Amino acid sequence: MPLLVKVPRNESVLRDFGPYPTTISLGEGTTSTQRKLSDGLHGFEPGTQATLLTLVQLATPRPVEFFDVGAHIGTHSLIISSVYPARSVHVTAFEPTPQTAAVCRALAGANTLDIRVERCAVSDEDGIASLFISPWETSNSLMEGFRPAVDTLPVPSVRLDTYCARRGVLPSVIKIDVESYESYVVRGALHVLEEARPAVVCEILRDTDPAAIGQTVGAFAGLGYHLHRWTRADGWRECSADDIAEQVSHDGNDWLFTPERIGDRFRATLAGWRQSIAECRPDHTVHLTPGTTPRPAYYGLPRLGWLRSRHRH
């Protein structure tokens, strides 16, 4: 059945950016991620959600460009595009798997969100790459041997340096989740990282090749970035390259790389988002009867019809 989940409420965003929807539609639950989200957003990478929402909220100048690299069905893109109006935040989702890219595009349309979906892989080369299809749809990767492959698909690939030059854009915030291929993504984005200095949330799995981890971390360290590990109790703590290589005292798979040290404003904003995401629990999830059209509501407004213009550039 179609699924509606609660979007976290944030009073400072309502004050600074205006009303936004109380829920997003996640469709029929054809992917493992959609099925997991039936329990609400509180259980879906809450630290990553809170961090991305915080980084986008505090980023300047406007409009902010958010790149979701390895978007899968675009959950993070959907949340950010729901919370922040398109005049202030432009969202681009990169997803090479045809089926999940199609779901991402369909969900953006169902929620009338202006998400640019690029059905391509991000790499260190422009052209065509081999995408290894895993038995688990969240583990498809350009890295051969990362997981057992049941199929191989040719997919377009692009360097972020090339992509940004073609479109004339520079990202302010990047999320990278590419199943052990992150060193190649970073290698193809060195000019962008040096020029734009975006904040980056990057998944680095424990079974990634140590040499590849060293390449990823070394690139950020060489550009003067600050490295952070996640703890459930305290959020982000600055760490060393060795901590990342050895996965020292880390709760989760994501690491944060920022061009500046994070300060009190970041920590306070993050704490607010963590609290509001924790409140997005199963009792705020609605399974709709097929064919039902929900009457939408907005935080900061009485119940009204969709304000479609809010999400258009």
β-sheet with 199-203: strand ranges across: 115-118, 89-94, 64-69, 173-176, 199-203, 254-258, 226-231, 235-239
In a domain, 147, yes or no: no
Task: Report pLDDT for 7.
Answer: 97
The pLDDT assigned to 302 comes to 66
Residue 24 lies in a domain: yes
41 domain-assigned: yes
> Is the pLDDT confidence value at 307 over 50?
no
In a domain, 128, yes or no: no
CA separation for the pair 11, 16 (Å, rounded): 9
pLDDT at 215 over 50: yes
pTM of the predicted model as reported, rounded to 2 decimal places:
0.93
* Contact call for residues 98 and 121 (beta carbons, < 8 A): no
Domain harbouring 209, CATH code: 3.40.50.150
The model's confidence at residue 27, banded by pLDDT at 50, 70 and 90, is confident
Looking at residues 211-226, what average pLDDT do you find?
97
Tell me what pLDDT residue 235 has.
93
Which domain does 102 fall in, by range?
A: 3-121+161-311
Q: How many domains does the chain contain in total?
A: 1
Q: What is the pLDDT of residues 140-192, one digit of tens each?
A: 999 999 888 999 999 999 999 999 999 999 999 999 999 999 999 999 999 99
Within a domain: residue 248? yes
Report the distance separating Cα 279 and Cα 167, nearest Å: 38
43-52, 111-120, 136-145: least confident range:
136-145
pLDDT digits (tens, 9 = 90+) for 69-83: 999 999 999 999 999
